[in-house]
Amino acid sequence: MLKKPPTHYVRDAAFIIAGILSVGLGLKGFLLSSQFIDGGVTGISMLIASQTGLPLAVGIVVINLPFIWLGYRQIGREFAIKSTLGIAGLSACLVLVPYPDITPDLLLTSLFGGFFIGAGIGLSMRGGAVLDGTEVAALVISRQATTMKVSDVILLLNVVIFGAAAFFLTIELALYSMITYFAASKTIDFIVHGIEEYTAILIVSEEHQTIREQVSAAGWGLTVLKGAQGHGKRGNMPEDVDVLYVVITRLEISRLRSTILTIDPKAFLIQYPVDDVLGGQIKSLPLH
């Protein structure tokens, strides 16, 4: 196994520490004073704390322990160690750091509380750890249930959590808590995947050679896939065809489509989102 450089661990530690401080701000600076909760394990801990008096700093550690164990079994030792240290650090942060109560406004509390919690969880994920074990549980369940995706499991878990919040707290608090969760989930996506969302486009065209030349001249990287045409409007067409595969940023989709359709208005395009890209030529050359 290749040994990682020390700078790798320093970077991961910086992400996790920043994540801990951000989640602490979201909880103590916004949510706790208004009795709002978040989704996931954090939300369960907050709900139990509101009903039993169990300190939140204790509940977060105790309830996350089984999920850390699952993470150790399913993902690996390094992930489990980082997550254990991150969750312990969050618990200590809630006890030791004197965050001010930022605002009494309920809408601002739900939005910005969710924003800082989501930012913290996203930063910790960039550092290779989790501060909330929900994603680990969802991954394990989805592997056992072939008809369910990770997102389906997370949604189902949060439906149960917010249903319990409506029952034990009030419907109004549960609704504000749902706003908090949505704000947090969108922020996590932004932190983990970045502002430049990538899109993959498959291009099937009889003018593939001309399109390939124009796309390459514009500075985009592409891959040529060897395929065979199936049965189309013109009957059975078993001849081979070159399929062009391009990954670009979403801001350049319109420019690429215009380039393709100018050459071949009948080109067949398939477009779908890509979570992340490493290497390759993604951005085009600047226009002159």
Q: Which domains does the chain have, with CATH numbers?
A: 6-193 (no CATH), 198-274 (3.30.70.120)
Half-sphere exposure in the Cβ direction for 77 (13 Å, CA) = 0
Half-sphere exposure in the Cβ direction for 227 (13 Å, CA) = 17
pLDDT of res. 190? 81
Q: What Cα–Cα distance (Å) separates residue 55 from each residue in 58, 94, 102, 125, 271? A: 5, 10, 21, 25, 48
pTM: 0.74
Q: What mean pLDDT is reported for the chain?
A: 84
Q: Is 79 a residue whose pLDDT tops 50?
A: yes
Residue 90: pLDDT band (50, 70, 90) is very high
pLDDT of res. 1? 46
Q: Of 277, 130, 122, which is closest to residue 191 (Cα–Cα)?
A: 122
Mean local confidence (pLDDT), 9-26: 93
Mean local confidence (pLDDT), 145-167: 75
Helix (H) or strand (E) holding 270: strand 268-274
Residue 238: pLDDT band (50, 70, 90) is low
Residue 4: pLDDT band (50, 70, 90) is low
Mean local confidence (pLDDT), 85-105: 93
Q: Higher model confidence: residue 20 or residue 254?
A: 20
Cα radius of gyration rounded to whole Å, the chain: 24
Q: Higher model confidence: residue 210 or residue 1?
A: 210
Q: Which residues pair with 88 in a beta bridge?
A: none
What angle do the packed helices 171-193 and 150-168 form, to 10 degrees?
A: 150
